Each structure stands twice: as structure tokens, then as C-alpha cells.
Amino acid sequence: MKPFHPTPKTLMGPGPSDVPARILEAMARPTVGHLDPQFITLMDEIKTLLRFAFQTENALTFPVSAPGSAGMETCFVNLIEPGDTVVVCVNGVFGGRMVENVTRAGATAVVISDDWGKPVDPQKVEDTLKAHPEAKILAFVHAETSTGVLSDAKVLCTLAREHDCLTIVDAVTSLGGVPVKVDEWGVDAIYSGTQKCLSVPPGLSPISFGPRAIAAIEARVTPVQSWFLDLSLVMNYWEGPRSNSDSGSAKKSGRSYHHTAPINAMYALHEGLLMLHEEGLEAAFARHQTQHEALREGLEALGFSFLVEPDYRLPQLNTVCIPERVTDEAAIRKNLLEKHDLEIGAGLGALAGKVWRIGLMGASACPANVEQCLGALKQELG
Amino acid sequence: MKPFHPTPKTLMGPGPSDVPARILEAMARPTVGHLDPQFITLMDEIKTLLRFAFQTENALTFPVSAPGSAGMETCFVNLIEPGDTVVVCVNGVFGGRMVENVTRAGATAVVISDDWGKPVDPQKVEDTLKAHPEAKILAFVHAETSTGVLSDAKVLCTLAREHDCLTIVDAVTSLGGVPVKVDEWGVDAIYSGTQKCLSVPPGLSPISFGPRAIAAIEARVTPVQSWFLDLSLVMNYWEGPRSNSDSGSAKKSGRSYHHTAPINAMYALHEGLLMLHEEGLEAAFARHQTQHEALREGLEALGFSFLVEPDYRLPQLNTVCIPERVTDEAAIRKNLLEKHDLEIGAGLGALAGKVWRIGLMGASACPANVEQCLGALKQELG
């Protein structure tokens, strides 16, 4: 066995996306201690930058020390107690994963199903919330990574508030690519990933919890089933004694050890968030939209149709139906990867073999990638 | 806010340890997709190298995509079902954390306590196992990071077998620093961390499960409470359909998506394990012992006494009693960090303020570090 020197690939799947050299370089800086004041300052800056990205003032905003699936689980296990009822909207793979989280936490999941490729239907949500006044939480996926569909988080959060439900929102693929307005929409708990529109290597899951969610945690009568993800403990590490206000450096001395944070991964996240801050959210969203339009035009010229209607299509994740003349879609993806050093995504679950998912996430949303992708597809499709 | 350029520190606390430039460079290589065949090959090599480090043939040997605390939780939630009885040996902070894991998984913890600074007492374990024939699992910490004590894993595992108990062993601080012989000792489930004697940045938790542990997972009647840590799912990602034999590349096509692995962290772990393989286990253990002896001699000359008796003292974690003449131990640690760029560890829990923990883990176990530490301490203690 030898050191691993991967052949670089252009990453246009559903994540990870291309990681800029600047972020990789940040990740390789010397490891310092996780209780070193330098690192505590970095943690504070990451929290501030994540609040910017999530458009929130929530004090409890930080990255969970594990990938997005663990961020999802953090939201569910901290807010659910056994016997609770949770309304879960399922319109793709990740809504289904939410149901798994609900039942494993000892709660009842009331499932609202929408077709894969369609957004969550607010009318169904309203009807279900009316029919289930005992529901404590409404959970849905903002941007379904398995289909490329954007659901209307603002409308869904408003419905949840009207029915006195907390919201858990999956923003894994939306954060940094399309608007995610935690405070304006009244989101209670939200999680994301680093390897999508933030263009940071995978491994961390940014989360944000609002005051109503924190109140629910404080009112718990049963312990959180996961020690590693128990926010009442993790909070002490990230911000000192529990509080929804952040008085900054005064709290540093109060922080207590919980686990050892993935230090170098935090360096990378910090750098990626700095780059997003430098570009500005609106500019980043516009860039994703512009590159999406260039890609869409090219794909349609090649004969592709989109699975998702324009009104709720994610610019950063383009799900296209594989043309009938393609008899071996896996072989084409293999050729793209091996001959063109270009990764695109396969269909997941019910869409396996039927669609491709072409990502334009974070740094991958650039003209060079659009051109490379269109050129390679043209060549391979003949 | 600006890019984060930490002042490098010599890391002689209880972890993270110094990360060699070679490992940091590996971590900064281009991110590829987590289902890219290149990455699958890397995963296979990591499994092989971890088997070498754990001295095992266990097929189910891989790094959990989160820090050591999550590795601990992986072992407990996969092996425990509600109502089970687990005997837990507590002789420091991490034994106490095990108890938390047991109760949160719905099991009863029978606790065996030993003084902090002493090893687990095999006689108490035997008596307890006799008194609790219903016990399913014996859990203990091989190398207590809070005290610097090594317990006799071979003897404890033999006792567990004699009483038909599975074993869960915490090897966070032992792996790579002292012998960890999973197969020879008959360990059933074991977890470690990357940021101790492997000298890799924190963020992953190597684990290994033997045939008896896998049989227990297969016999479960309740689902694992954590979706993220459910080995029946994670296994499909790491090795294809569940099996305790590994037929290698034939399985690649069978692997299914579970979560996105922390790709660049895996590069770093691979490189760190390669370095351990190049050095050889015995040479690595001897290096830790030699540097420990040099440090011990110097510390004793400075008037320090050790908390732990030589017979069960960890070479890689030196817990010394703070001399009475030191009135402000925190100020000295602060001076070491700020003036000497040297991190040593504070006491944890009951030992806070009473001891320092001086690590010689992985790359930190070298003559330059020993000299720097002794020189700086001499200067600061006056």
C-alpha cells in the first residue's frame, strides 16, 4: 500500500462538490488543541458565520461533529420524546430517512407522501395538521437531494406555527445555494451539510435551533437517547452554560469538554464560510441560478428533459430524465468519470436507472464545469 | 474575520497529538466522490490497515464517521437491547460515560468502581459476573485518558468469555501506543480515536466487531435506536451485504449509500496508518516506552510524582501530581501554551486542579518534545 494520490475529478454529482484549493489549504494547517483559546476563537467565528449563512440570530448555531445524517438525528432525538407525534413530509429519500429517525426515537410518524419530483403539498400539510392536533413537530426537506425539488419552507413553517408545531427542516442541499431564512420563516430546528453548496469537504453538519426548540429541550422529561448528540451537553462545549443569548468571550471560561471536535475539518468550514461571506449570499444564489440556466439550455439542446417543473426546480441539483436511446446509463457515468474525470450522480431509490443528478453546488457552479459537462455528455451520447 | 492561521503548538496533552506534515498534506489532497472507485479502494486499504493496528482478522473493522464518543455509542447501541444488563467498570471519566450510554440505550448498568488512578480490579469483575448471570456485556476502558491507567484487557476479556458475556473495550488512547490484541484477547467490540497514538486529526473513530458481536446484532429483535450508527446499515456501505468474511473487490458493486463519509479525513487516517505500518507496531510501542522513560526521569528530577504505579502506567499519558509549591496551576499551563507554545493537559473531573496529564502520543513521542517539555516546566516552576 502506498500514499493515496487521487486523480482529481470535477464533482458534479449530488455532493461532495468541488472543494477550492483555498479550503483544502486551510484544512492542512497545523492541528491545535480543541480547548486552545485560538480554537475557541475559531469556534466563535464559525458560529457567527453560520448565523450569517442561515440568516438567523439563534445563539445555538454550530456544526455537529459528524456528517449531515447526524445533524438530522440531532434535531430529531433532541426534540422528540417517546410517545410524541411527528408529521413527516416524504417526497424523496431524505423524507423517508426522517421517518426512520422518528420511529427509532419512540414517536409516531404521520407520513404525508408526495410524488418523487414534486414539492411538499401545503394543502395536505394543513389537512394533516388539522386532523392531528396532538402533533408536536412538522418535519420536511427543503431541498430534496434525491430529486432536485425545492419545497416552500416559508409556507410550511407558517402552517406549523398556526398549529402550534415545531419545525425540523432539512437544508442539506439548500444552504448557500438558494435562500434559507431561518428567522424570517420561523424555522425552529434546521440542519445542513458542508459538502454541498458550501464546497467544504464532508464531515460536519451545521445546525441551528431557535428559542421554541430550546424551550422544548429544556422541558424534556426523558433524557436524549444519544449521549453524543445530546444538545444539553454539546451546548456547554460550544457556548458554555445553556442560554439563548450569546455574551461572547465572557463565556469562554465556562465551556466544558464534551468530545474532541474535528479540528482540521473546522478550519475548512471556517474558510468556506468566509468565502461565502466575501461573495455575499445574494451573489452566490445568483451564480447558482445563472449556471443552472446555462446548463439547462445545453442539456435541453442535447435532448434531456427535466424531472422537476421550473417553479420548484433547484438550480444546484439538476435531475434529468435519461433519454430512451441510452441503453446502459451506468456505462456512460463510468466513462464520464474515467475518461472525462467528471462525476455526475445516479438516481436514488425509485429513480435509480431513470435519472441523472447533475450538481452545480458551491464552487462547482461555474462556467468551466458547465462547459465540461455539456461537452463530455455530447461526446458520450454520440 | 480573516482566514485562520493558528500559531503551531507542541501537543503534549491527552490528545490531539502532533500531526506530522505528511498526514496534513494527505488531508489536503483533492476531494473525490465518496462512491468513486478510487475512494472505495482507499476504504478497503483503511480496513486492512486498521486490522493490522487492532491485530485482528475481523471483517467488520472500519472508522465510524465521527469522533471517539460516537465510536463508543456505536458499540453500545448496536449490542444493547432494552432490558439488557451491562457490567461497566468505572475507574475514570470514560467509564462513567459508558454508564451514560448503557442507561440511554434502555439497559441496566451494574457498575464496578475502582479508584481513579487504579486499574480495573479483575477480582471484582469476576465476583460481579458471578452475581449477575443475566449480564450480557462487560464494558471497560483499556487505557483511561483521564488518569493514565492501563487495565489488563486480556484478563478481563477471558473473564467475560467464562461468563458468556460480550466485551466492549475502549481503546481510544491505547491503539498504536501499547499492544491492543483484539483476536488474541477475544475482544468482541472495540473502538478508538484517531487523534491519540495514530497522530491523525480528530474526527473519526476506528471500530472492530468480532463474530460473536455480529451474531448479537443479527439476533436483535428491536431496531438500533440510532439510524446514523446502525451497523446493519453502515456495514452495507463499508463492505456490501452483511458477512464476516471479506472477499474484496467482488463486493464493491454491492455497496450501498448510507451517509457521505468524511472523505479528506479518511485520506489523513490512511496516511497515519501507513506510517504506523511502516514503523511497525513493536517499534511504535518501544518508542512510546523509551520517550516515557526519558520524560519520567526528567519529571522526577523536577520533583513530580506520578499518580499511577509503574505496573499499570501508560507510557503515552503521564499523569503527574502538581507539586504543593504550585499555587496557580492554570497560570502555569497558560504560560506553557502562550510563552512556550506547548500544550499539556489539565486534570479532569475529580482530578481537576490536582494533576497534569502530559501526553506522549504518536508523533508527540519524540526526544524533541520531551526536551521541550522538561525545559519549559523547569523554567516555569522556577
Residue contacts between A and B (CB atoms, under 8 Å): 242
Q: Which of B146, B260, B333, B338 to mutate to test the interface with A (most CBs of A within 10 A)?
A: B260
To the nearest whole Å, the CA of B34 is away from the closest chain A CA by 8
Look up the pTM and report it: 0.96
A33/B19 CB distance under 8 A: no
Q: Is A16–B263 a contact, with Cβ atoms under 8 angstroms apart?
A: yes
Q: How far apart are CA A18 and CA A369, in angstroms?
A: 10
- Which residue on chain A is closest to B333 by alpha carbon? A36
- Residue B6 reports pLDDT greater than 50: yes
**Listed residue (A364, A371, A287) closest to A17, CA to CA:** A364
The pairs formed by B190-194 with CB atoms below 8 angstroms and a separation of 24 or more are B190/B54, B190/B75, B191/B64, B191/B68, B191/B71, B191/B72, B191/B74, B191/B75, B192/B54, B192/B68, B192/B71, B193/A260, B193/B15, B193/B67, B193/B68, B193/B71, B194/B63, B194/B265, B194/B268, B194/B269, B194/B272
Q: Which letter does DSSP use for residue B7 in this model?
A: P
- Where is B166: in which H helix or E strand? strand B166-170
Reported as a single tens digit per residue, the pLDDT across B320-379 is 999 999 999 999 999 999 999 999 999 998 899 999 999 999 999 999 999 999 999 999
Q: Which residues pair with B295 in a beta bridge?
A: none
In one-letter notation, the amino acid at residue B323 is P
Beta-carbon contacts of residue B75 (< 8 Å; ≥ 6 apart): B168, B189, B190, B191, B207, B209
Closest listed residue to residue B178, CA positions, set B157, B203, B154 = B154
Please give the grid coordinates belonging to residue A212. 421554541
Interface test with B, best of A35, A199, A222, A264 (most B CBs within 10 A): A264
Of A66, A104, A264, the CB nearest to B65: A66
* CB atoms closer than 10 angstroms to residue B111: 15
Q: Provide the shortest C-alpha distance from residue B130 to chain A (in Å).
A: 30
Which among B30, B73, B274 has the least Cβ separation from residue A228? B73
Q: Which of A331-345, B74-88, B229-243, B284-298 has the lowest mean pLDDT?
A: B229-243
CB of A344 within 8 A of CB of A18? no
Chain A: give the shortest CA distance to residue B6, in Å.
Answer: 7
Asked whether the beta carbons of residue B263 and residue A7 sit closer than 8 angstroms, the reply is no
Q: Which of A95, A70, A73 is nearest to A194 (CA)?
A: A70
Mutate which of B18, B23, B94, B226 to test chain A, going by most A C-beta atoms within 10 A? Answer: B226
Q: Where are the beta strands (DSSP E) in chain A?
A: 10-12, 60-64, 85-90, 108-113, 135-141, 143-144, 149-150, 166-170, 189-191, 205-209, 305-306, 317-321, 342-346, 355-359
Tell me which residue of A274, A264, A253 sits closest to A65, measured CA to CA: A264
Q: With CB atoms and an 8 Å threshold, state whether A259 touches B31.
A: no
Write the pLDDT tens digit of every residue in B124-180: 999 999 999 999 999 999 999 999 999 999 999 999 999 999 999 999 999 999 999
What does the alpha-carbon distance between residue B115 and residue B146 come to, in Å, rounded to a whole number? 12
Q: pLDDT, tens digit, for every residue of B18-32?
A: 999 999 999 999 999
C-alpha cell at A171: 437544508
How far is residue B65's CA from residue B238's CA, in Å, rounded to a whole number?
Answer: 11
Task: Report the pLDDT value the prediction gives residue A240, as an integer from 0 to 100.
Answer: 67
- A273 Rama class: left (phi>0) / alpha (psi -120 to 50) / beta: alpha
Closest-CA distance of chain A to residue B351, Å: 14
- Contact B31/A201, CB-based, under 8 Å? yes
Distance from CA of A162 to the nearest CA of B (A): 31
Instruction: Please report the pLDDT score of residue A241 as a whole number.
Output: 55
Ranges in chain A, pLDDT < 50? 242-253
Check if the beta carbon of residue B89 is closer than 8 Å to that of residue B123: no
Cell of B367: 526526544
Angle between helical axes of B37-54 and B231-239 (0-180°, round to 10): 110
B45 to chain A: which residues are within 8 Å by CB?
1, 4
Task: Determine whether A381 is exposed, middle or buried from the number of CB atoms within 10 Å of its CB (0-12, 13-18, 19+).
Answer: middle
CA closest to A44 among chain B residues: B1
Return the bridge partners of B62, or none.
B207
Q: Residues B170, B78: contact at Cβ < 8 Å?
A: no
Q: CB distance A33–B343 less than 8 Å?
A: yes
Which chain A residues touch B73 with a CB distance below 8 Å?
226-228
Amino acid at B376: A
Model confidence band, residue B255 (pLDDT cutoffs 50, 70, 90): confident
Nearest CA distance, B123 vs chain A (angstrom)? 30
Map grid coordinates 446502525 to a residue: B230
Residue B28 has its nearest CB partner, among A28, A32, A65, at A28
Partners of residue A175 on adjacent β-strands: A178
DSSP designation for B151? P
- pLDDT at position B240 is 67
Domains of chain A: 10-16+279-381 (3.90.1150.10), 21-263 (3.40.640.10)
First vs last C-alpha separation in chain A: 39
Helix A367-381 vs helix A281-301: crossing angle, to nearest 10: 20
- The mean pLDDT value of chain B amounts to 95
